[in-house]
Amino acid sequence: MKGAAALLLALALFYVGGMFRSPGFLLAATALLFLALLLFLLLRLGARRIKVSVRLPQEALRRGEPFFVTMRIENPLPLPFPKAELALRCGEEDFSGTLPVPARDAAEASFSVIPRYCGAFAVQMKRLALWDLLAFWKRRLRPAFSESVIVLPDSPPLFTVVEGSPTMTAETDGAPGEGSGPPPEIREIGEYRQGDALRDIHWKLSARRDELLTKRYSRETRPRVRVVWDGAGTVSAKRADAYWSMCWSLSLGLLEAGAPHTATWFDRERFGLVDREITGRDALFAAMEERLRAKEPFGEEGLPDAALQELLDGEAAGETVVFAETELVLRTRRGELLRCSEEQYEKEIRENSIRL
């Protein structure tokens, strides 16, 4: 507006100077017009040299954990910009502010953000405007960039009971050591082999048969658990938050139950299943962060037939496969284990338990 007003004023001075044949008015009009055009050109050319960047935390965050989004505007020119207006879209919220940008220096503006949902928290520049030295002109820029930081869930563990499976046995030639749980059952008694422990020799039967015989054991073990993190369909940020929280709570519950497991999802770029062993919280953090960094964490359709058959083959071999669905349902082929809602999922996770 000021630039347009300066041009109108210059035209008015030209008109008055011509009408009254006043060199002073004509000189003032020429100077004002030259200054307005010079500032206009400097602003347009200088705006092209401006560099804009955003600084986010490098490590994954937890939902509800505040952090700072810092915008940096670098000015390599010898002329300052007295005013810069910027507007950002951070997740579901909009932020704006103004700051001066000094010559041959950089200016930064920081905004405190609290992520409401887990997932990829995107930061986008919506608008950037620069003003010239006398605030005659404003140059609007639209830097095309978007950065993101991963926000992990903070939901509680889902109480999970992992039962032993009589169809899956671990055979061993020696009894487990102290502190390994209840004594195993004797599977068979066979001839002594070199390397058998002396404590496993069946002394009474060996005396009767006049040969060394050893006890061999069969110990019941827990089934191998595989959790499929592969929801399908278009979901809102709120539904995605509930979905990842449900997956997170299930893995925490399995770890607390002493059941390391495998997290599996379908990589749509490589068109194959990805397996990550979840042996502790650090492994869970890493796997969940990797999953959330995917370009398309949710596919339009479900698992391809080949990938589903691979999972079913593992189940036939003795695995327990749990499917986490975007309808906020945990299920196995035997039936539904848990159903949650978008509004009350944390309460439902706390108040329910599942048995595998």
**The two three-digit tokens of residue 215, written as one number:** 């006890």
State residue 171's pLDDT score: 43
Would you kindly state where each structural domain of the chain is located, as residue ranges? 2-46, 49-152, 159-163+223-355, 170-221
**The two three-digit tokens of residue 105, written as one number:** 């220096």
- Please compute, for residue 191, the number of CA atoms within 13 A of its CA located in the half-sphere on the CB side: 2
Return all residues near 168 (Cβ < 8 A) that are at least 6 apart. Answer: 220, 221, 222, 223, 224, 318
Higher pLDDT, 98 or 32: 98
Task: Identify the CA nearest to 113 among candidates 79, 151, 173, 65.
Answer: 65
Task: Identify the CA nearest to 30 among candidates 42, 12, 14.
Answer: 14
What average pLDDT does this structure show over 67-93? 89
Q: Residue 170: pLDDT above 50?
A: no
d(CA 206, CA 314): 42
Q: CA–CA distance from 325 to each of 7, 121, 197, 227, 299 (Å)? A: 63, 22, 49, 11, 12
State residue 180's pLDDT score: 42
Query: For 322-345, how does the pLDDT look when each residue is reduced to its tens digit (9 = 90+)?
Result: 999 889 999 988 889 999 998 899
State residue 172's pLDDT score: 46
Q: Tell which CATH architecture fits domain 49-152.
A: Sandwich (2.60)
Q: Residue 278: pLDDT above 90?
A: yes
State residue 316's pLDDT score: 77
Q: Residue 76: pLDDT above 70?
A: yes
Q: Residue 252: pLDDT above 80?
A: yes
Higher pLDDT, 6 or 325: 325
Q: CA–CA distance from 161 to each of 126, 166, 257, 337 (Å)? A: 49, 16, 7, 12
